[in-house]
């Protein structure tokens, strides 16, 4: 998954907005002012990475399964994972992680908001467009 594919997927979720509260470069995705995802750009030495909220038990399983999944960078390491977009985690797994993060955040909202957002979300996942050749 490319950073642009992640951006497109994150913005697919109902009532999501993109912000840069830490300054240029770190893109934060919020639903009703609650953070559910972050994208940190890569550089010559490191792949781009995303941080996603996660159930603590599942977070440990994902870290054991994928070397690119590590405890949340500068976040509560029990509830957040950071995932390097180095190509080792399958795109469909990343999409599931993104949806899980969104659902975890929405689950903590008041019932009216939770019901509206989950109803708008439905059962699907955001479409993942293929990266252009050479990307």
pLDDT at residue 113, rounded to an integer = 94
Is residue 43 a part of any domain in this protein? Answer: yes
Is residue 99 a part of any domain in this protein? Answer: yes
DSSP, collapsed to helix, strand or coil, labels residue 30 as strand
Tokens encoding 42:
């890569």
Tokens encoding 97:
């992680």
Domain that holds residue 76: 3-111
Q: Which is nearest to 69 in space by CA: 98, 89, 91, 92? A: 89
> What are the pLDDT digits (tens) for 73-89?
888 898 999 999 999 99
Domain count, the chain: 1
pLDDT at residue 125, rounded to an integer = 72
Is residue 17 a part of any domain in this protein? Answer: yes
Is residue 122 a part of any domain in this protein? Answer: no
Is residue 134 a part of any domain in this protein? Answer: no
**pTM greater than the 0.75 cutoff:** yes
Is residue 129 a part of any domain in this protein? Answer: no
Tokens encoding 127:
């479409």
> What are the pLDDT digits (tens) for 14-58?
999 999 998 888 999 999 999 999 999 888 788 899 999 999 999
Is residue 118 a part of any domain in this protein? Answer: no
CATH code for the domain in which residue 35 is found: 3.90.1150.30
Is residue 52 a part of any domain in this protein? Answer: yes
> What are the pLDDT digits (tens) for 48-71?
999 999 999 999 999 999 999 999
């Amino acid at each position: 998954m490319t950073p642009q594919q992640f951006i497109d997927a994150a913005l697919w979720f109902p009532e999501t907005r993109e912000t840069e509260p830490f300054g240029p470069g770190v893109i934060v995705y919020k639903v009703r002012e609650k953070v559910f995802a972050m994208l940190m750009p890569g550089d010559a030495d490191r792949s781009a990475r995303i941080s996603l909220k996660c159930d603590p038990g599942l977070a440990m399983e994902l870290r054991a399964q994928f070397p690119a999944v590590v405890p949340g960078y500068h976040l509560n390491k029990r509830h957040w994972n950071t995932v390097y977009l180095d190509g080792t985690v399958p795109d469909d797994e990343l999409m599931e992680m993104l949806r899980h993060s969104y659902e975890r955040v929405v689950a903590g909202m008041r019932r009216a908001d939770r019901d509206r957002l989950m109803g708008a979300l439905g059962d699907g996942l955001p479409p993942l467009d293929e990266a252009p050749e050479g990307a």
